[in-house]
Amino acid sequence: MAQLSTKIKLYLEANSKTYNGERSNFNLRDDGSGPYIETWNVSGVNKPTNSQLASYETAGNTEEKNNGVRSTRKIAYGDIGEQLDEIYKDIDAWKARVKKVKDDNPKE
């Protein structure tokens, strides 16, 4: 099940708003029965209904899975400085390594 924050991110993006991970315009709360939007102060976008948020379940699951893949890839790629050094020394070896990381960690 996709996290509420992921569904809100997708809802905001669908309404031409950016979401940078900060919750300065809304506040989530969980009183034990599940998370919900406690306050909503996003300019130009109405607070989403439960059915609107539910419509982002599948996309939210995909987003969260792909975030995991991105994180795994980032670790496997290594430091950008080391990658640039590898490219300078042997671009074919770098291309093969990057292809293997992508093949081992496919996105949906």
For 11, residues 6+ apart whose C-beta sits below 8 A from its C-beta are 48, 52, 53, 56
Bridge partner residues of 40 (DSSP): 26
What's the pLDDT score for residue 19?
82
Is 92 in contact with 39 (CB distance < 8 Å)?
A: no
What is the number of domains present in the chain?
1
Quick one: pLDDT band at residue 72, thresholds 50, 70, 90? very high
Q: For the segment 37-71, what is each residue's pLDDT rounded down to a tens digit? A: 999 999 999 999 999 999 999 999 999 999 999 99
Q: For the segment 12-25, what is each residue's pLDDT rounded down to a tens digit? A: 999 999 887 777 79
87-107: average pLDDT: 94
Domain range for 92 is 4-104
Q: Give the whole-angstrom CA distance, residue 20 versus residue 107.
A: 21
